[in-house]
């Protein structure tokens, strides 16, 4: 009988590091670990990269398989700007994807180059979330720190480098920087923002390197290239082209693997690459489960204590918003009546959070050359997918069948599939399909609630008028 082969997949997210140990042959999760991250909540959203490494080590050790893992890979939160000095130490805390202070720099980029030109070259029109916008913010607001930068990394790059000593990234995560093209880094654009390509990691696929001494894993363990969290989740689902996914986490995302390269000059759809050879057009909102939990707290209700009916509209833009692009927005409550109940306000908050994602769903598919098909189940993932109120909101506003995969920690599972692929020679998405990670509960469609959707859409212009750049 052959010895069990176990790989470890890591999800370094905004709030925590999660690691899963997975049997390569069966796909069974045989160990799990988790450790939290701290995030500032002041003027911006920042996090110390060193604590990501400490949390990764704790999470990997928590699986119980750190010493025996046959391979490992890291999936990480997209876009974050990690700046290192010549000694490899962080120059400052990382600027996270949901730090909106660089909205002005994003607008300046679009004004200087043209949104259509940027979409054609890099696949996306940068918003405040993108790394290129954050780099410009750093240069303009903290020039002394910018002058000390000897290396620029994304969160997953930083952790892969801590494991291996290799300065590498992958095409999926690199496509969210705003300076990557299918032909490689856009050197002209980099010169325009004052960034030397030499400070960026190499883009690789497959093997990134091997574990060096001093970490939680055995020295010499193979390390896969890793990728961004959304690309890793797509791998974790074994996603086929044209199947839409809606992820409910700290942020909300809707995306699909497509065969065509997306280029959306409106900026609604980000034209990301996937971690393999296809594309991953994606729309993202900043405010999702965390915003709803905050509103439930303010109302003094359990998050599931929603009530139907009412005319209230809640746009839960507590951290500004990316889709629609209102980076300086705040939460908006509109349409209260004497008979409006707290439960109806909470339901309106769910509706407001879900509406932007569902409104972008067809745009995501068309951007990648896929024809929307309302009969294809919408895969619902993320922490919110476990909640009844979230499930019913998505069913009611979409009018689509909804499939909720039973597998949890899909980002970590996608990373594990990358690690397993190093051993088996399969493509990572083939590994996940063999593991059956997308199997789950299929919920039949409900009649689409067009009245609520139209009420929210009619309120959106008011948010645009109220909240503009300070």
Active site annotation includes 229: yes
Residue with tokens 């469609």: 445
Nearest Cα residue to 23 out of 439, 429, 417, 438:
417
Which listed residue (229, 319, 363, 429) is catalytic?
Answer: 229
Residue with tokens 């509209």: 313
The catalytic residue positions are 229
């Amino acid at each position: 009988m052959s010895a069990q082969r176990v790989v470890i997949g890591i999800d370094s997210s905004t709030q925590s590091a999660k690691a899963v140990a997975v049997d390569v042959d069966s796909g069974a999760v045989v160990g799990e670990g988790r450790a939290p991250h701290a995030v500032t909540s002041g003027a911006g959203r920042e996090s110390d990269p060193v604590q990501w490494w400490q949390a990764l080590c704790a999470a990997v050790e928590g699986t119980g398989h750190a010493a025996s893992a046959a391979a490992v890979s890291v999936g990480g939160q997209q876009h974050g700007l990690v700046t290192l000095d010549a000694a490899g130490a962080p120059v400052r805390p990382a600027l996270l994807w949901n730090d909106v202070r660089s909205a002005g720099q994003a607008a300046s980029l679009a004004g200087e180059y043209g949104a259509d030109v940027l979409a054609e070259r890099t696949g996306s029109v940068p918003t405040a979330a993108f790394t290129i916008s954050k780099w410009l913010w750093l240069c303009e607001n903290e020039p002394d720190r910018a002058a000390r930068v000897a290396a620029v990394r994304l969160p997953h790059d930083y952790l892969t480098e801590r494991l291996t000593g290799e300065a590498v990234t992958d095409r999926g995560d690199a496509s969210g920087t705003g300076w990557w093209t299918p032909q490689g880094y856009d050197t002209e654009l980099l010169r325009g923002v004052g960034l030397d390509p030499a400070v960026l990691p190499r883009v690789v696929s497959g093997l990134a390197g091997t574990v060096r001494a001093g970490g939680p894993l055995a020295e010499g363990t193979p390390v896969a290239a890793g990728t961004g969290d959304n690309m890793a989740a797509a791998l974790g689902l074994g996603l086929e082209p044209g199947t839409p996914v809606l992820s409910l986490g700290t942020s909300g995302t809707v995306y699909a693997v497509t065969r065509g390269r997306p280029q959306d000059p409106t900026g609604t759809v980000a034209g990301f690459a996937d971690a393999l050879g296809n594309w991953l057009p994606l729309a993202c909102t900043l405010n999702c489960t965390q915003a709803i939990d905050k509103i439930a707290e303010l109302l003094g209700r359990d998050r599931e204590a929603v009530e139907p009916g009412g005319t209230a509209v809640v746009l839960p833009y507590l951290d500004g918003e990316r889709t629609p692009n209102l980076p300086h927005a705040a939460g908006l409550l509109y349409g209260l009546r004497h008979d409006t109940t707290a439960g109806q306000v909470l339901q309106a908050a769910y509706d407001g959070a879900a509406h932007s994602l569902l409104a972008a769903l067809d745009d995501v598919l068309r951007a990648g050359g896929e024809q929307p098909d309302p009969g294809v189940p919408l895969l619902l993932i993320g922490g919110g997918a476990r909640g009844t109120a979230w499930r019913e909101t998505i069913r009611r506003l979409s009018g689509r069948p909804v499939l909720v995969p039973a597998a949890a920690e899909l980002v970590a599972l996608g990373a594990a599939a990358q690690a397993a692929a190093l051993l088996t020679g399969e493509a990572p998405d083939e590994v996940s399909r063999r593991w059956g990670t997308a199997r789950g509960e299929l919920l039949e469609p409900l009649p689409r609630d067009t009245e609520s959707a139209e009420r929210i859409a009619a309120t959106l212009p008011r948010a645009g008028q109220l909240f503009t750049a300070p």
